[in-house]
Amino acid sequence: MPDPSAATTAPRTASFLSPIPLFFVFLWSSGFIVAKFGLPYAPPLTFIVLRFLCVLAILAPLVLLLRAPWPHGKVLHIALAGVLLHAGYLGGVWCAIKLGMPAGLSALIVGMQPILTAFAAPLIGETVRPRQWLGLLFGIGGVALVVAAKIELVGLSFAAIALCVLALVSITVGTLYQKRHCPQFDLRTGTVIQFTASTIVILPLAIIFEGMRLDFAAVQWTAHFIGALAWAVLAVSIGAIFLLFALIRRSDATQVTSLLYLTPPTTALMAWLMFGEAFNALGMAGMALAVAGVFFVVSKSK
């Protein structure tokens, strides 16, 4: 078994259209499906607190049992990156959806992350090539086509839009911050640090704004909710996050975030298969355009 703390020596130009990045896209995209299953049975911040606590209940004993190494001199950097990537992103998106933000519009707003990351790339010593800029434009165009039929603006509140923009800024800054200040750390202990810090931030907000009690009385423990919680913990918060950190460790931030262009099309396809939601020719064209955009971003050519 490879050492999770070891820095990879794989080339930075390794193909992103390979099983690991595509599996990451699948797991990350399923997070929106989890929200559809779980939010009817629990307030958003309460659900997130439960999710974080379950992750810690699984990982903390493993860290102790395996005697995984703790980072030295990076704990605060890792914790801050985690708050931005987990608490800021999830809290913003899930609260926005709860306030009536359509999933399609939230996906489009958050889908701006690769563009923001590209503009900020010089801050972490990265250069975005002309071919990559073309790919980024293709990607956002593809995302727009996929969600066009699902966007509804009637009755949309300023708070919902603001929360979604907060999530966009949070995950963008978190990705860049981690890439610059702590790209290398043991995934096991680092994830424990990040989810502990995120829980400390989200817990008081859940108590203040949702009246959350420590017995989680507001949660309806249905089979749908338990299944959604289990998938959110094991597949998304552990599986997808481990893959995301591995990708950040070995590649440029612009390349990593470009994969998120594939999230709205993949989510739309999942929703079509699972819930019968519309996925028309325009959506399929958008998916093809988003895939082309990612190819341009990760291509070796200039």
- Give the per-residue pLDDT at 7: 37
- For the chain, the three-class secondary structure string (H helix, E strand, C coil) is CCCCCCCCCCCCCCCCCCHHHHHHHHHHHHHHHHHHHHHHHCCHHHHHHHHHHHHHHHHHHHHHHHCCCCCCCCHHHHHHHHHHHHHHHHHHHHHHHHCCCCHHHHHHHHCCHHHHHHHHHHHHCCCCCHHHHHHHHHHHHHHHHHHHHHCCCCCCCHHHHHHHHHHHHHHHHHHHHHHHHCCCCCHHHHHHHHHHHHHHHHHHHHHHHHCCCCCCCCCCCCHHHHHHHHHHHHHHHHHHHHHHHHHHHHCCHHHHHHHHHHHHHHHHHHHHHHHCCCCCHHHHHHHHHHHHHHHHHHCCCC
Average pLDDT over residues 136-156: 72
Neighbours of 11 (CB within 10 A): 10
Task: Please report, in angstroms and rounded to a whole number, the separation of the first and last CA atoms in the chain.
Answer: 36
pLDDT at 89 over 90: yes
Asked whether 283 and 129 are in contact (CB, 8 A), the reply is no
* Tokens found for residue 157: 């509140």
The mean per-residue pLDDT over the stretch 247-251 comes to 76
Calpha distance 259→139 (Å, rounded): 9
Residue 28 or 264, more confident: 28
Task: Please give the pLDDT value at position 12.
Answer: 43
Contact, 109 vs 89, CB < 8 A?
no
Q: Is residue 201 pLDDT above 90, yes or no?
A: yes
- CB 72: neighbour CB atoms within 10 A? 7
- Residue 174: the pLDDT is 94
Q: Considering only 2-6, 55-59, 103-107, which range has the smallest mean pLDDT?
A: 2-6
pLDDT band at 155 (very low <50, low <70, confident <90, very high): low
pLDDT-derived band of residue 2, with 50, 70 and 90 as boundaries? very low
Among 46-50, 172-176, 179-183, top mean pLDDT goes to 46-50
User: pLDDT tens digits, residue range 38-68?
Assistant: 989 999 999 999 999 999 999 999 999 999 9
Rounded to whole angstroms, the Cα distance separating 232 from 34 reads 6
- Please give the pLDDT value at position 278: 67
Choice between 4 and 129, residue whose per-residue pLDDT is larger: 129
Q: What are the Cα distances from residue 92, in Å, to 58, 72, 194?
A: 25, 31, 17
- Chain length of the chain: 302
**% of the chain with per-residue pLDDT over 70:** 86
Reply yes or no on whether the pLDDT at 282 is more than 90: no
**CA 2 from centre of chain:** 25
Higher pLDDT: 186 or 143? It is: 186
- Which range is most confident: 1-5, 189-193, 242-246, 262-266? 189-193
Which pLDDT value is given to residue 10?
A: 39
Average pLDDT, whole number, for the chain? 83
Position of tokens 């988003």? 290
Which is more confidently placed, 91 or 265?
91
Confidence of residue 229 (pLDDT cuts 50, 70, 90): very high
Report residue 216 as tokens.
């989680």
Give pLDDT, residue 13. 40
Quickly state the pLDDT bin for 129 (edges 50, 70, 90).
confident
- 8 A C-beta contact, residue 148 and residue 282: yes
d(CA 176, CA 123): 9
Query: What's the confidence (pLDDT) of residue 247?
Result: 83
Structure tokens at 22: 């595509």
Distance CA 35, CA 228 (A): 8
| Between residues 145 and 178, the one the model is more confident about | 178
Read off the pLDDT of each residue in 238-263 and give the average, rounded to a whole number.
Answer: 80
Distance CA 241, CA 228 (A): 17
